[in-house]
Amino acid sequence: MAERETAAALLDRVAAVVARRGDLVLTRRELHYRAGRWPLVRVASRALDETPRVLLVLAGLHGDEVAGPITVASELDHLAERAHARGLGVVVYPLANPSGFDAGTRYNADHDRGSAGNGDFLRYLREDGSVVDEVEPSPTPRAWRWSSELGVPLPAETRALHELLTRDPLERVVAALDLHQDLLTQGVGPAAYAYSFGDTSVYRDVVAQARALVPLLANRAIGAGFGVQIDERGRAVQPEGDAGAPTSDADGFVVRHDGSLTDLLYRLGAPYSVAVETTGATPLDVACAVNRVWLDGLLELAGSAAPRRA
Ligand SMILES: [Zn+2]
């Protein structure tokens, strides 16, 4: 197996693209762990304040899912070029969990998953007054709050993302893409699927292109990340069985209101919000190709979307 790129090397590639182009800005926030310090990097369009429509891309929230960060680092130049040509602004978090990336773990190098994993962006308030991290598609919950507003324990990278995202122009985001890999579901071959909401027929062309690369995980109970625990070495352990797990449709779409970034952007009214998954059996180059198809597809949709406010 080829030696894996370090977080520092990957972020150097990102910084080189930003330095070469004049139309992006890069900011770094230092994340402090017992295991050391890592930078959380955010890249955004220099003209972000003037762009009525914004594309938000996040990758590498789960540290061992390397395909997303590799895709984003390789595609950033192309992404900025195409987005800016369409009058779109971009906000990109190329490596959301850099210490986990270096440690090769789902969660961070301290094995801190907070109380509900590091993809903990919102909590729901139910009619009976209880606060939960996941709800069924119906009935509509009474309300929701950012998890950080409720003071729940969050890992350092998630806390930092909350602080940065609340200052991002989320009200102008027309499309959001969160890149993952499903390294938890056992017994499946190379395949892709996606978490999304509402009318997924808008993604018809993207689905056709993804399907040409790899089978789609259709009509299957998908329990990945459902009730995950971590062991003493920080490895994620998926409980046996699919009880209560949502099922994908014929095009491999899964609806899940789990308080994730995708769910947050959906609740905030972004017309397009998708989390892309490829299975662990999918070769890395194919996983990256699927990510590219989704990146290009959402860019296209965002480019023809109406601004969300006049
Ligand atoms: Zn993931």
User: What is the spatial distance between Cα 36 and Cα 33, in angstroms, rounded to a whole number?
Assistant: 5
Would 187 be classed as within a structural domain?
yes
Would 130 be classed as within a structural domain?
no
Is residue 22 pLDDT above 60, yes or no?
Answer: yes
DSSP of 63-95, one letter per residue? TT-THHHHHHHHHHHHHHHHHHHTTEEEEEES-
Distance 65 CA to ligand 1 centre (A): 6
Q: Is the pTM of this model over 0.85?
A: yes
Is residue 225 pLDDT above 90, yes or no?
Answer: no
Is residue 295 pLDDT above 70, yes or no?
Answer: yes
pLDDT category of residue 140 using cuts at 50, 70 and 90 = confident
Would 157 be classed as within a structural domain?
no
User: What is the spatial distance between Cα 267 and Cα 273, in angstroms, rounded to a whole number?
Assistant: 10
Would 151 be classed as within a structural domain?
no
Neighbours of ion ligand 1 (CB under 5 A): 62, 65, 180
Distance 60 CA to ligand 1 centre (A): 8
Distance 13 CA to ligand 1 centre (A): 22
User: What is the spatial distance between Cα 63 and Cα 102, in angstroms, rounded to a whole number?
Assistant: 7
Would 85 be classed as within a structural domain?
yes
Distance 179 CA to ligand 1 centre (A): 7
Name the average pLDDT for the chain: 92
Distance 310 CA to ligand 1 centre (A): 35
User: What is the spatial distance between Cα 160 and Cα 280, in angstroms, rounded to a whole number?
Assistant: 28
User: What is the spatial distance between Cα 87 and Cα 211, in angstroms, rounded to a whole number?
Assistant: 29
Distance 180 CA to ligand 1 centre (A): 4
Q: Are 40 and 28 in contact (CB under 8 A)?
A: yes
When pLDDT is averaged across residues 71-83 and rounded to a whole number, the result is 98
Would 109 be classed as within a structural domain?
yes
Q: Are 294 and 276 in contact (CB under 8 A)?
A: yes
Would 230 be classed as within a structural domain?
yes
Would 216 be classed as within a structural domain?
yes
Q: Find the domain containing 183 and state its range.
A: 7-117+165-304
Distance 103 CA to ligand 1 centre (A): 15
Q: What is the CATH number of the domain that holds 171?
A: 3.40.630.10
Structural domains counted in the chain: 1
Is residue 167 pLDDT above 80, yes or no?
Answer: yes
